[in-house]
Amino acid sequence: MAEEEVIYNEDSIRSLDWREHIRLRPGMYIGKLGDGLSMDDGIYVLAKEIMDNSIDEFVMGNGKNIEVKIVDNKVTVRDFGRGIPLGKVIECVSQINTGGKYDSKAFKKSVGLNGVGTKAVNALSSSFKVQSFRDGKTMLAEFEYGELKKAHKITDTMEPNGTLVTYFADDSIFRNYRYVNEFIQNQIWNYAYLNAGLTIIFNNEKYFSKGGLLDLLKRKTNEEELRYPIIHLKGDDIEVAITHENQYGEEYYSFVNGQHTTQGGTHLNAFKEAFAKTVREFYKKDFDLADIRASIVAAVSVRIQEPVFESQTKTKLGSQTISPEGNISLKQFVTDFLKKELDNFLHKHPEVADALQKRILQSERERKDMAGIKKLANERAKKANLHNKKLRDCRFHLDDEKNERRYDSTLFITEGDSASGSITKSRNVETQAVFSLRGKPLNCYGLTKKVVYENEEFNLLQHALNIEEGIENLRYNQIVIATDADVDGMHIRLLMLTFFLQFFPDLVKNGHLYILETPLFRVRNKQKTIYCYSEDEKQKAIHQISGRPEITRFKGLGEISPDEFGMFIGKDIRLQPVLLTQDITIQKLLEYYMGKNTMDRQAFIINNLRIEKDVLIEDEIEEVV
């Protein structure tokens, strides 16, 4: 039978209004949608877009306080800036290319200049309210799904100047979403670090910083682990903080006009080059770049006019100059600053210069000691035919246009052939890959990185992820540990967490590591099936299903048929992000759980065990992580 001819004529051409276009193609405006379990999910981009406007008001010298509340998925942001001009309240949140930031004099070094952010929040919210308070008058407008429902008359008010925005993200677009407080708190802390004198109240908790990036690095590191005190340098429109730890990897935090550029960009590249160049010139030695940067923790913030980002979500800077005129190179600006200020600092603080040199020389020795081992390991990985035996790769782990990790690319790390077989048969071959472990991984606590190359499983996993030289070339956005919900599965999970925390902590800190939740029970009759992830859910399901339901306890992933498994790794996938709290270091964390069997750990295990059908199941230790 011949295929039906597709008619292409004038009737095929559609013109969408701003609201329809944003709702039809939300990814163009906010990137990944997600359910809130990843720090780059769309609901956090929406919150950031509203808060960015309030931050811009502060930067322009208007209002020193911002109040943020998120309760039961209701987001409220109140600033005390100038307030939107009352006659333009509706247009500013519902007309694309309308806003005050096109006037570069009013917002000289703003984050958002395209007039899109607030409109995207409006269009992607089931309820959106904006109220402006200005010189004793107020105006309120109410929207649903981007459509104006009620425009209130301008009335008198006793409220101080500013803007109040309240909204609910549309749960038909952000399915089953929830806010992870740690992600919001981290975002708000960044605002505080980058805006001295600003106070943000989030759910009645105060966020304030005097030390800027110095405070940021203090929060991201532990004083006991530092090789030398944090170097903190400030200049006109640039600020940096630098130190080295003992852990593996490189860790950077970069910002432009207060915006956290999670994917870096031209300013971060300039910093890396300038730091290495300055160090080489100071010590008059051509150190290897890898040795200079090994174990570095650094933050860099610049403020430039009309920044150009590589996407609407503003995660990567593309600007080559610090102003639209293009007369000053951004790279040269950063280089000149570091060459002068860092060089001066090292001359004035010889003890820091000595400690930095020792850290570099130590990295040099370790790299040379491992050179032969790495070469043999790389040859073994090629001979092992990784992509046929251990890794069932997906077709599109990269965004072809940008040559970057796709938001939805995932690697499942599984135990055994049965579990990996179920996932392999039910996965989305476009974006989901599977790496199969053989037996229990080695407990690598206290070992050096040499073991990553000597141990076949670790070596092949490292190559599958492409993280040998750091996470910049990580092939997948999400790495998901998928193990059985029994004692052996929990043990394997803990061993894999130890591997990543010990040797690739920046992968965890940047929010790439997750735990897969799979159902423990299936409760069903002939009419209905309910999958349950806990004993409480099972009891509720039993009451929902009439008659005497059939109850199945899944003891392993291999017991779940591929058809069923596809439901648990598809659009309704349940992932728990592995989060690192700020009140404990990785070293102390690993020592507590993986070190000697202390009385404290014994007490913790006893208190966190639950008994289900005569099977001991260790509670979710990664929740504490």
Confidence of residue 533 (pLDDT cuts 50, 70, 90): confident
Average pLDDT over residues 192-208: 94
Can you tell me the distance from the alpha carbon of 263 to that of 404, in angstroms, rounded to the nearest whole number?
Answer: 10
Instruction: Report the pLDDT averaged over residues 305-332.
Output: 80
Residues 162 and 230 in one domain: no
Task: State the chain's mean pLDDT as an integer.
Answer: 85
CATH number of the domain enclosing 414 = 3.40.50.670
CATH of the domain at 275: 3.30.230.10
Residues 201 and 269 in one domain: no
Q: Which of 177, 207, 237 is the endpoint of a domain?
A: 207
In the predicted model, is pLDDT for residue 6 greater than 70? no
The answer, yes or no, to whether residue 619 has pLDDT greater than 60, is: no
pLDDT at 151: 95
Evaluate whether residue 528 is within a structural domain. Answer: no
Total number of domains in the chain: 3
Under the banding of pLDDT at 50, 70 and 90, the label for residue 518 is confident
Residue 297: pLDDT band (50, 70, 90) is very high
Comparing 105-114, 257-266, 361-370, the range with the smallest average pLDDT is 105-114
Token pair in block for residue 291? 């040795």
CATH number at residue 81: 3.30.565.10
Flag whether pLDDT at 439 surpasses 90. no
Residue 265 resides in a domain? yes
Rounded to an integer, what distance in angstroms lies between the CA atom of residue 187 and that of residue 371? Answer: 39
Domain annotation covers residue 529: no
Closest C-alpha among 129, 202, 132 to residue 165: 129
168 and 236 both lie in a single domain = no
Is 9 a domain residue?
Answer: no
Measured distance CA(356)–CA(351) in Å, rounded:
9
- Domain presence at residue 331: yes
Closest CA to 464 of 407, 517, 372, 388: 388
Q: Quickly tell me which residue has 């399915």 as its tokens.
A: 175
For residues 327 and 407, membership in a common domain is answered with no
Helix and strand element counts for the chain (H, E): 22, 27
- With residues binned 3-state (H G I as helix, E B as strand, rest as coil), the percentages for the chain, rounded to 5, are 40, 20, 40
539 in any annotated domain: no
- The DSSP element (H or E) to which 612 belongs, if any, is strand 609-612
Q: Quick one: 328 and 409 in the same domain? A: no
Give 567's pLDDT tier (boundaries 50, 70, 90): confident
Residue 468 sits in which domain range? 390-518+554-624
Residue 222 lies in a domain: yes
pLDDT tens profile 589-614: 787 778 776 677 777 766 665 544 33
pLDDT of residue 621: 38
**Structure confidence at residue 613 (pLDDT):** 39
Q: Does the pLDDT of residue 623 top 70, yes or no?
A: no
Per-residue model confidence (pLDDT) at position 98: 56
The pLDDT value recorded for residue 526 is 86
Which of the listed residues 304, 336, 368 is the one where a domain comes to its end? 368
Of the spans 105-109, 120-124, 258-262, 467-471, which averages the highest pLDDT?
120-124
Among 187, 207, 227, the domain boundary falls at 207
Tokens 């956005």 correspond to 477
| Residues 424-452, mean pLDDT to the nearest whole number | 89
Q: Is residue 102 part of a domain?
A: yes
